[in-house]
């Protein structure tokens, strides 16, 4: 039997995308609906106002909701507020948390969701997976709604802090180790693999690397390929029905840093550190194929101390990482004693900061 996969109906990813909205089908479909627009309270609130103006939405149809975080309490509150206004569509405007909340609230209310990422900070910009903080120290990925429309204005993304873009590149590069882990799990007869999802996730990262190595190296061109590759990663997750093609041991390490060591850095930055450990454990120790040069080039950390973590915290996180999700990775085939992990860390991060 062939598989049904939900993909966005509308995808606009270009400079000045907002200016194209009125001529798009999105305009007609949003015009008569009661809409809950989720954003942050700062710059993304203003971007939300621009969007309302571009879509010529009437004040009476808009319920503006501020999403300060992606905690379960916040999502419950947003859901109740959206429900009390008989919401027929959710629009999420922001860098990450508002997008996560929009997907989850949209799934709960069974209404279409439009995502308007204001920064390219991760692969949540076009995926059916939402990250929800269920306790002060723990976030989980849960199934949300695949967005009905995704609008990425690359001029808006270019105006976001460069650190967010770097984090998005870290999240994208991690497809490499995530795919290697998935193949490892398949070889160990622990998990089914979806070849098509692997293909899409692999092409996403290869397209970015190719552009970075051989293409036009202008900021605009690299922003575009970052956005497109993150979108492709989201498609791979939709095909797989889980975050598996884009989330392996490097993500487990990042989740453990959040859960046990205070989550001191951005998701994509922590994933980048996890990536260096994962690729080494996976046997990829050749400087010619390591992702390290891309971390350096795109301003990502290459040592955990840059993110404020100690060696002891890293050892704790790596030991705890496999317990955070039922996902077979190279960590399941690694001796997780403090001594051994300490030696791995010394080998991967040879130069202390
Ligand atoms: Zn991620």
The 3-class SS string of 296-343 reads: HHCCCCCCHHHHCCCHHHHHHHHHHHHHCCCCCCHHHHCCCCHHHHHH
The stretch 239-246 carries a mean pLDDT of 93
CATH topology of domain 10-160: Rossmann fold (3.40.50)
Ligand 1 centroid, distance to 172 Cα (angstroms): 8
pLDDT at position 144: 76
More confidently predicted of 307 and 217? 307
Ligand 1 centroid, distance to 24 Cα (angstroms): 30
DSSP letters of 16-46? TGGGGGGGSHHHHHHTTS-EEEEE-SSHHHH
Strands 62-66 and 138-143: unpaired
Distance CA 219, CA 157 (A): 11
pLDDT at position 352: 52
pLDDT tier for residue 139 given thresholds of 50, 70 and 90:
confident
Does the structure show a pLDDT above 90 at 33?
yes
Ligand 1 centroid, distance to 287 Cα (angstroms): 24
Does the structure show a pLDDT above 80 at 287?
no
Q: Where are the domains of the chain?
A: 10-160, 163-348
Mean pLDDT score of the chain, rounded to an integer? Answer: 93
Count of Cβ atoms closer than 10 Å to residue 212 Cβ: 18
Ligand 1 centroid, distance to 31 Cα (angstroms): 33
pLDDT tier for residue 216 given thresholds of 50, 70 and 90:
low
Ligand 1 centroid, distance to 174 Cα (angstroms): 8
Question: Tens of pLDDT along 85-136?
Answer: 999 999 999 988 999 999 999 999 999 999 999 999 998 899 888 888 888 7
pTM of this prediction exceeds 0.75: yes
pLDDT tier for residue 351 given thresholds of 50, 70 and 90:
low
CATH topology of domain 163-348: Dehydroquinate synthase-like, alpha domain (1.20.1090)
Q: The dihedral of CA 269, 274, 275, 276: what is its sign?
A: positive
Q: What are the start-end ranges of the E strands in the chain?
A: 10-14, 35-39, 62-66, 89-94, 113-117, 129-135, 138-143, 149-153
Ligand 1 centroid, distance to 215 Cα (angstroms): 25
Ligand 1 centroid, distance to 122 Cα (angstroms): 6
Does the structure show a pLDDT above 60 at 353?
no
62-66, 71-75, 283-287: which range is least confident on average?
283-287
Does the structure show a pLDDT above 60 at 288?
yes
Q: Which CA distances in Å does 126 have to 7, 115, 129, 186?
A: 9, 7, 9, 26
Ligand 1 centroid, distance to 248 Cα (angstroms): 9
Ligand 1 centroid, distance to 33 Cα (angstroms): 32
């Amino acid at each position: 039997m062939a598989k049904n996969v939900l993909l966005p109906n509308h995808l606009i990813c270009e400079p000045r995308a907002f200016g194209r909205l009125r001529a798009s089908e999105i305009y007609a479909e949003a015009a008569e609906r009661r809409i809950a627009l989720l954003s942050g309270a700062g710059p993304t609130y203003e971007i939300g106002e621009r969007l309302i103006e571009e879509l010529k939405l009437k004040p009476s149809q808009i319920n503006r909701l501020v999403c300060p975080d992606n905690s379960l309490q916040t999502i419950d509150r947003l859901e109740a507020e959206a429900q009390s206004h008989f919401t027929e569509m959710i629009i999420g405007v922001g860098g990450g948390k508002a997008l996560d909340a929009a997907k989850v609230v949209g799934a709960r209310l069974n209404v279409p969701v439009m995502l308007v990422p204001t920064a390219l900070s991760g692969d949540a910009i076009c995926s059916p997976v939402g990250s929800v903080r269920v306790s002060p120290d723990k976030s989980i990925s849960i199934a949300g709604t695949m967005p009905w429309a995704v609008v990425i204005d690359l001029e808006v993304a270019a105006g976001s802090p460069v650190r967010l873009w770097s984090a998005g590149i870290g999240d994208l590069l991690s497809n490499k180790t995530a795919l290697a882990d998935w193949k490892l799990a398949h070889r160990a007869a622990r998990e089914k693999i979806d070849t098509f999802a692997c293909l899409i996730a692999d092409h996403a990262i290869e397209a970015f690397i190719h552009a970075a190595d051989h293409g036009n190296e202008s900021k605009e061109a690299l922003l575009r390929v970052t956005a497109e590759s993150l979108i492709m990663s989201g498609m791979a997750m939709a095909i797989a029905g889980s975050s598996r093609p884009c989330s392996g041991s490097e993500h487990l390490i990042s989740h453990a840093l959040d859960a046990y060591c205070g989550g001191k850095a951005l998701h994509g930055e922590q994933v980048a550190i996890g990536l260096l450990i994962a690729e080494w454990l996976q046997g990829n120790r050749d400087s010619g194929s390591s992702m390290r040069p891309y971390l350096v080039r795109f301003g990502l950390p290459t040592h955990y101390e840059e993110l404020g973590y100690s060696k002891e915290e890293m050892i704790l996180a790596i030991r705890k990482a496999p317990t955070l999700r039922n996902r077979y990775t190279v960590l399941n085939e690694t001796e997780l004693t403090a001594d051994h992990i300490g030696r791995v860390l010394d080998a991967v991060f040879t130069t202390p900061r």
